[in-house]
Structure 1
Amino acid sequence: MKALVTTGVEPLALELRSVSDPRPRSDEALVEVHASALNRADLLLARHRPVGSSLGLDVVGTVLRPAADGSGPPAGARIAGLAENNAWAELVALRTDRMAVLTDSLTDTDAATLPVAGLTALYALQRAGWLLGKRVLVTGASGGVGRLVVQLARAGGSEVTAWVRSPARGAGLAEFGAEVVSGYDTPPTTSADILVDSVGGEVFSAGYKLLRAGGVATVFGNTVRAELRLPADWGHARPGVRLEYLFLLDEVTRRSVPADLGLLVDLAATGRLVAEPGLVTPWTDPDRAVRSLYSREINGKVVLSI
């Protein structure tokens, strides 16, 4: 089969190569891959893995051969799921406890935005707790996760402030019901009960200072690759504030991915959650996809059509 693999020519260079077909374990289904999204975590891994390594976490495809242990969906089922860094391929062996069945109303490329980004958004808000009547501040709100956090927080009854780098990055967020603040050098002025941060550095610090007593900061990323700094009065001025860190691949070991991903699929299929990629490109042109992700020129997810 064909797969996108690392080349060693430069850290983010990928190419299609012939590789061995996967050999599923008893709890894995053999899946024909139709689409996969790019995540920053995928490309960070590309810098450190040997030449010829496969990549990719998001999977949308069709079950060709169900798991031998009888778990999971039958042959012919369309599914979305989380792979083990091998999704950018024609075939993947996928654990049945890491997938959910898709409905016909959700396209492959739309569904590809849900596994990593959707589960991260869902778990970040669940870590924060009760949403009804709360004010949620979302940094990096234009990204694949951020756009879903905004929608899920609004659906949970929160008022949402979406903080983005530039006006262009805020496109579409007001339609989701968010108050949009543009420019990381101009912080919001409204206090918040919940901070969901993916930017890090000074943006995290500024957002943290807006938390009310008893608030929660949930961190799932650090796009500026800078230290997280708390203000000197971080606890005294904000008694009861809680700081949570979310690492998705660890979080899913304690969660029911089929149920949680199934919830996101249902919300998207019924129009209660907008799951649309910012860019869809064929996997034969991975350079364009990588450039678009790293230049931050795309709002939402970058999806490979396979």
Structure 2
Amino acid sequence: MKALVTTDDADNADGRLRLDPVDEPEPLPGQALIAVSAVAVNRGELSVLDELPPGSRIGWDVAGTVLRPAADGSGPAVGTRVVGLADRDGWAERVALDTRRLARLPDAVDWAAAAALPVAGLTALYALQRAGRLLGRTVLITGAGGGVGRAAVQLASAAGAHVIAWVGSPDRATGLAALGADVVATYGTDPGVPVDILLDSCGGTVLTRAFESVAPGGSVVVYGNTARAELRLPRDWGRARPGVSLHYVFLFDEITRHDVGHDLAFLLQLVTEERLDPQVALVGSWTDPAPALRCLDRRQVNGKVVLAL
């Protein structure tokens, strides 16, 4: 079979992957063999391409069909449409997936929408759960124009929060109001009200400025650092805001403490009820991933990038 693997051309996002023959997966007893139909591309995956040796596998988000069920009897039967989370080897024609990280895919959800859901949806869900109660509270979401940010805007709004969406430029704001953001503004804009919950994916000065609006007793949840800068808080961060809690959410740590299959099924139910849109912005071909990777790398898409097999 074939898979997208890293190359030694690290000049840009366009030349860092190629289709190569790889060994067929050998599922463990608790894994199902999946024929892949679509995969999503995450900024986290792009960020590590240059750090991996040539020939490395990559890919987390997978949607496809069960070719062979798990030998231990867990998980779905042959022919079931599923979505799941891979161990950084999902960009392939076939992949073995832990049945605890799989959910059955309703017929109403297409491959692209399903593939866009796991990393973005679960990260947003777990970050908001860590923040605590949402009903009637003000939530500031930085990086709201990306895949996780757009999922977080929708989930927070659905839970009854007043949502302020911060973006890097007016172009990144497209569609956020329709998704439930009450206020859409560029980084550093004064929210005008105390912020009960801050969800940050940016780090650097964006986090510093956003933290200045957090109310005493509020919650700050960081799940990324796209600025690739030190995470700095205001000098008076504790004294001026007593009781503020700080959290860092890393998805592949969180999944060790969550029922991932159940949580994916919950997100899929919201999709079928049209209460959550996976925000697929671009669908490219995995045989020519360069254009799609380029658009994501340059932040030319608002939402998720998917590769179809």
| TM-score bracket for this pair, using the shorter chain length | over 0.9
User: Secondary structure of 1:47's partner?
Assistant: helix
What fraction of aligned residue pairs are identical, expressed as a percent? Answer: 55
2:22 matched to 1:19?
yes
Take 2:190 and 2:292, find their aligned partners in 1: how far apart are those partners?
30
Residue 137 of structure 2 corresponds to which residue in structure 1?
A: 134
Residue 10 of structure 1 corresponds to which residue in structure 2?
A: 10
User: Secondary structure of 2:51's partner?
Assistant: coil
State the Cα RMSD in Å.
1.1
2:185 matched to 1:188?
no
Partner residue of 1:150 out of 110, 132, 153 = 153
What TM-score do you get using the length of structure 2 for normalisation?
0.97
Q: State the 1:232 CA deviation.
A: 1.0
Residue 67 of structure 1 corresponds to which residue in structure 2?
A: 70
* Contact preservation (8 Å) 1:164, 1:180: no
Number of residue pairs matched? 306
Take 2:152 and 2:180, find their aligned partners in 1: how far apart are those partners?
12
* Contact preservation (8 Å) 2:2, 2:93: yes
List structure 1 runs of 4+ shifted beyond 4 angstroms.
Answer: none
Per-residue CA shift, 1:127-152, capped at 9, x if unaligned? 00000000000000010000000000
What TM-score do you get using the length of structure 1 for normalisation?
0.98
Q: State the 1:61 CA deviation.
A: 0.4
Take 1:169 and 1:44, find their aligned partners in 2: how far apart are those partners?
20
* Contact preservation (8 Å) 1:181, 1:188: no
User: Secondary structure of 1:278's partner?
Assistant: strand
Letter in 1 for 2:7: T
Range with bigger deviation, 248-257 or 268-277? 268-277
Give ranges in structure 2 of 5+ residues lacking alignment: none
Residue 92 of structure 2 corresponds to which residue in structure 1?
A: 89
Per-residue CA shift, 1:97-143, capped at 9, x if unaligned? 11111100000001111100000000000000000000000000010
Q: State the 1:186 CA deviation.
A: 3.5
User: Secondary structure of 1:71's partner?
Assistant: coil
Range with bigger deviation, 214-223 or 267-276? 267-276
* Contact preservation (8 Å) 1:97, 1:258: yes
Give ranges in structure 1 of 5+ residues lacking alignment: none
Partner residue of 1:277 out of 280, 285, 288 = 280
Letter in 2 for 1:82: L
* Contact preservation (8 Å) 1:163, 1:188: no
Take 1:245 and 1:296, find their aligned partners in 2: how far apart are those partners?
24
Q: State the 1:41 CA deviation.
A: 1.7
Q: State the 1:293 CA deviation.
A: 1.1
* Contact preservation (8 Å) 2:147, 2:279: no
2:128 matched to 1:110?
no
* Contact preservation (8 Å) 2:46, 2:297: no
* Contact preservation (8 Å) 1:30, 1:63: yes
Per-residue CA shift, 1:220-264, capped at 9, x if unaligned? 011110111111111111111001000000100010001111100
Take 1:184 and 1:233, find their aligned partners in 2: how far apart are those partners?
21
